[in-house]
C-alpha cells in the first residue's frame, strides 16, 4: 500500500534515525539521543536569540575536589559559544579553583553552611535553587541543576532546552517500573504506586525554563519539609520528590542517559556517546556520614 502524498515526509525532513530506543514519549515529548537531532540547525535557531543558561552546582565538604574538572570540562562541552553563568554553592568559597572561562561565561560563588549529613546537603538543593531562581528572574532564560562529582565528555547544548527537562537515570532505564526506587510509603508526599511512573529520572541533572524549574523546586521543597515535619524522609530525598513531580507534571523534554551516565557502568550498545558522567567515588571516604 502506498503512503498518501500529504503524509509522506518531505525529503528535506529527515526523521530520527534511531530505531533501537524510544525517541518520543506518549505525551509527545522528545527523548534526546545521539542521532535524533541536528546540532548545527538547533544552534543556528537559538544563537540569534542570545539565550543565557544558568547552572547550579553544589560542592560541600570533600566534594570541592570535583569542582575543577567539572568546570574545565563544562568549558569544553557545555553550551559552547552561548552565555553560561555557573552558580557554585559551597562551604569553602576560598577553595574554589580558578578556571579560565570564554567570553560570555562566568562563575558566581555562594556560601552555604556545611552539614554533617549528606542527605541534608542533597535535600537542601531544592530550597537554594528555588531562591536563586527568584533572584534571577528576567536575567536568565534556562537553568540546569547538576551534580558536581561529574564531568562532561561530549556536547551538551541547545538540543537539551525545554520547558521542564528530565534526565533518565542510567541505573534503571532498562528496568520495569516496579523496580524503580520510587518512594513507596503512602505516608510520604513523594509516594508513587507500583503502577505509576514513566521513567526513573535523575536527581543529579534536571532543568528547563526558569519558571518551570522554580515551580518544581518550590513544590519538592514544600513536600520534603512537610514530610520532615511528619518524621519521614523519602528514599532518595529530593530525587524521590522530583520523580513524583515529573509523574504528575510531565517533562516537555526528556534527555537519555547519555546526559548522565556513571563511569563505573559498562557502556551499553544504545549509548553511542556519553556526554556527562558521574565519576567513580568511595562514598565512605567522601561523604560526611554513611
**Contact footprint for ligand UD2 (CB under 6 A):** 58-61, 63, 118, 121-122, 147-149, 169, 202-204, 236-237, 239, 260, 278, 287-288
- 141 a known binding residue? no
- 59 a known binding residue? yes
- 60 a known binding residue? yes
Q: Which residue is nearest to ligand UD2 (CB)?
A: 203
Contacting residues for 279 by C-beta, under 8 A, at least 6 apart: 66, 69, 149, 150, 151, 263
Beta strands per DSSP E along 158-225: 164-168, 201-209
Total Cβ atoms within 10 A of residue 23? 19
Give whichever of 140 and 242 is closer to ligand UD2, judged by the CB atom: 242
- 148 a known binding residue? yes
Give whichever of 142 and 206 is closer to ligand UD2, judged by the CB atom: 206
State the Cα–Cα distance between residues 92 and 74, nearest whole angstrom.
21
**Nearest of 137, 153, 161 to residue 210 by alpha carbon:** 137
Specify the 3-state DSSP secondary structure of 265: coil
What is the nearest approach in angstroms of ligand UD2 to the Cβ of residue 110?
Answer: 13
Q: Exposure pattern of 206-227 as b/e (b: 16+ CB <10 Å)?
A: bbbbbebbbbbbbbbbebbeeb
Give whichever of 161 and 260 is closer to ligand UD2, judged by the CB atom: 260
What's the length of the chain?
A: 290
- 227 a known binding residue? no
Give whichever of 50 and 289 is closer to ligand UD2, judged by the CB atom: 289
Q: Residue 55 has which C-alpha cell?
A: 547552572
Choose, from 212, 238, 239, 258, the residue flagged as catalytic. Answer: 239
What is the nearest approach in angstroms of ligand UD2 to the Cβ of residue 152?
Answer: 14
Question: 241 φ, ψ to 5°?
Answer: -65, -40
What is the nearest approach in angstroms of ligand UD2 to the Cβ of residue 163?
Answer: 21
What is the nearest approach in angstroms of ligand UD2 to the Cβ of residue 65?
Answer: 10
Give whichever of 82 and 201 is closer to ligand UD2, judged by the CB atom: 201
Residue 127 known to be catalytic? no
Cβ atoms of 93 and 111 closer than 8 Å: yes
What is the nearest approach in angstroms of ligand UD2 to the Cβ of residue 118?
Answer: 4
271: phi > 0 → left, psi -120 to 50 → alpha, else beta; which? beta
Q: Which residues are annotated as a binding site?
A: 58-60, 63, 147-149, 169, 239
Give the catalytic positions in this structure.
Answer: 239
Q: Which residues are annotated as a binding site for Mn(2+)?
A: 147, 149
Q: Which residues are annotated as a binding site for UDP-N-acetyl-alpha-D-galactosamine?
A: 58-60, 63, 147-149
Amino acid at each position: 500500500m502506498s503512503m498518501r502524498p500529504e503524509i509522506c515526509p518531505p525529503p528535506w525532513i529527515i526523521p530520527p534515525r534511531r530505531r533501537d530506543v524510544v525517541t518520543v514519549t506518549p505525551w509527545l515529548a522528545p527523548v534526546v539521543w545521539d542521532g535524533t537531532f541536528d546540532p548545527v540547525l538547533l544552534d543556528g535557531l537559538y544563537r540569534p536569540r542570545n539565550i543565557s543558561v544558568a547552572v547550579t552546582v553544589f560542592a560541600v565538604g570533600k566534594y570541592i575536589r570535583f569542582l575543577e574538572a567539572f568546570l574545565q570540562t563544562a568549558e569544553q562541552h557545555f553550551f559552547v559559544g552561548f552565555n553560561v553563568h555557573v552558580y557554585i554553592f559551597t562551604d569553602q568559597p576560598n577553595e574554589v579553583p580558578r578556571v579560565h572561562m570564554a567570553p560570555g561565561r562566568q562563575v558566581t560563588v555562594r556560601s552555604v553552611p556545611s552539614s554533617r549529613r549528606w542527605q541534608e546537603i542533597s535535600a537542601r538543593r531544592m530550597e537554594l535553587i528555588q531562591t536563586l531562581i527568584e533572584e534571577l528572574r528576567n536575567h536568565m532564560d534556562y537553568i540546569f541543576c547538576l551534580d558536581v562529582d561529574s564531568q562532561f565528555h561530549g556536547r551538551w547544548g541547545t538540543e537539551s532546552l525545554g520547558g521542564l527537562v528530565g534526565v533518565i537515570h542510567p541505573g534503571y532505564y532498562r528496568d520495569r517500573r516496579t523496580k524503580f526506587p520510587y518512594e513507596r510509603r503512602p505516608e510520604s508526599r513523594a509516594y508513587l504506586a507500583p503502577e505509576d511512573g514513566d521513567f526513573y529520572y535523575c536527581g543529579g541533572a534536571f532543568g528547563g525554563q526558569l519558571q518551570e524549574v522554580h515551580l518544581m523546586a518550590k513544590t519538592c521543597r514544600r513536600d520534603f519539609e512537610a514530610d520532615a515535619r511528619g518524621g519521614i524522609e523519602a528514599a532518595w530525598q529530593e530525587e524521590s520528590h522530583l520523580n513524583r513531580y515529573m509523574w504528575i507534571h510531565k517533562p516537555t523534554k526528556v534527555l537519555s542517559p547519555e546526559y548522565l551516565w556513571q563511569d563505573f557502568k559498562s557502556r551499553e550498545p544504545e549509548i553511542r556517546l556519553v556526554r556527562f558522567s558521574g565519576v567513580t567515588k568511595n562514598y565512605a571516604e567522601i561523604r560526611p556520614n554513611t
